[in-house]
Amino acid sequence: MSSSFRKLLVVTASTKRSPVVASGKVGAKVVNIASFLCSPIDPLEDMRYGAMTRKPILESPKNTLITYCDADLDIKQGDTLVVGSDEYPITYVNDWYWQGENFMELGLERTRV
């Protein structure tokens, strides 16, 4: 990553993943990556009309969030991102390219109450 972007990776996180199905049963998620750095978790904002707004994209009981991390991590859609005591289902994983460097963009979900 570019050195300027790397300075944004200040949040310590881990991931959980469902184990392999055995005898038709799926066990509880277990730690997949014990510790890595990601950017602060931010709301994914509406990009309509060429300007970002603070309005959620979907009028649903869930918020869509976004974070970035190194590209060489074993993170997949369906994993869970853990930050402190908070857990976020990972809804998508995209490759993201910035200033000659590769990293990952993670889409997350949080249920609003």
Higher model confidence: residue 86 or residue 97? 86
> Which residues make Cβ contacts (< 8 Å) with residue 85, sequence separation at least 6?
none
Domains of the chain: 3-111 (2.40.10)
pLDDT in the model for residue 51? 46
What is the model's pLDDT at position 33?
95
d(CA 6, CA 90): 21
Interval 36-93: pLDDT, tens: 999 999 987 655 444 444 455 555 567 889 999 999 999 999 999 999 999 999 999 9
Q: What is the dihedral of CA 81, 67, 104, 6, to 10 degrees?
A: -120
What pLDDT, on a 0 to 100 scale, did the predictor assign at position 9? 92
Tokens 């049963």 locate to 25
Given a cut of 50, whether residue 5 has pLDDT beyond it is: yes
Q: Do residues 64 and 58 lie in contact, with contact meaning Cβ atoms separated by under 8 Å? A: yes
In terms of pLDDT, which residue wins out, 101 or 17? 17
> Quick one: pLDDT at residue 52?
46
Q: Decide: residue 20, CB within 10 A, 0-12 exposed, 13-18 middle, 19+ buried.
A: exposed
pTM: 0.79
